[in-house]
Amino acid sequence: MLVEGAMILTWLGAGAAVGSLTTYRLVNGAMSQEREEKLRNSIVENEALSRTNSIYRERIEQLENALFSNDKYLEMAREIERLSADNFKLRGRLRDLACLVEAEKKKTAWERVERLEKSILDMRRRLDHEHYRQEVVYPAEFMPARTEIAVTAMEPTPVEQPGSEKPKKWASILRARKI
């Protein structure tokens, strides 16, 4: 029985081996067919893409040749270069004008400062001159008595100093109530 059991086990082992080999071949064959189909599809797709790519390259070359041989392109390229040069010149002029504006601002500010200093000095001279001068009212004319009496007074003419402006003549009108 031992021999019969061993034989049965041997036949079962051999059957399993044959079964697994046939299954492996069937599965492997089916998978290889799928791979071959995918490979064929990829080859066909690659050829189609290659043809499309070559068509596009030819068209691009045609367009480039047409573009670079086109007089309009050359004219536009010259125009772009000219505009670029003009732009560079304008930027230079803009920088120069900006510098001139800054210089003019400084000059204007300096002139204002000088004018203010001059006016301050003139005011100081006038104040000093008026500080030492005594105000005197000289009756020039009397008007008849009415509701108001107006008296005009003249200031004595000041002695002019060289370099100073003439002070304006003042005529003060003093109002008083009826006496």
- Indicate whether 105 pLDDT > 50: yes
Q: What is the mean pLDDT of residues 145-160?
A: 53
At residue 58 the predicted structure's pLDDT band, cuts being 50, 70 and 90, is very high
pTM: 0.28
- Indicate whether 104 pLDDT > 80: yes
- Indicate whether 148 pLDDT > 60: no
Placement of tokens 């041997």 in the chain: 10
**What percent of the chain lies above the pLDDT cut of 70?**
67
**Chain-centre distance of CA 102, in angstroms?**
20
Q: What is the mean pLDDT of the chain?
A: 73
End-to-end CA distance of the chain: 171
175 versus 127: which is more confidently predicted?
127
Question: Is 137:150 a contact under the CB 8 Å cutoff?
Answer: no
Confidence at residue 127, expressed as pLDDT on a 0 to 100 scale = 80
Cα gap 152→179, rounded to integer Å:
17
Placement of tokens 């007074």 in the chain: 153
Confidence at residue 97, expressed as pLDDT on a 0 to 100 scale = 84
The two structure tokens encoding residue 16:
């399993």
At residue 154, the 3 state secondary structure works out as strand
Cα gap 81→74, rounded to integer Å:
11
Q: Where are the domains of the chain?
A: 1-69, 73-132, 135-179
Which range scores top for mean pLDDT: 6-20, 91-105, 144-158?
91-105
117 versus 166: which is more confidently predicted?
117
> To 10 degrees, the CA torsion angle through 64, 70, 74, 79?
-110
Q: How do 171-177 and 148-154 pair as beta strands?
A: antiparallel
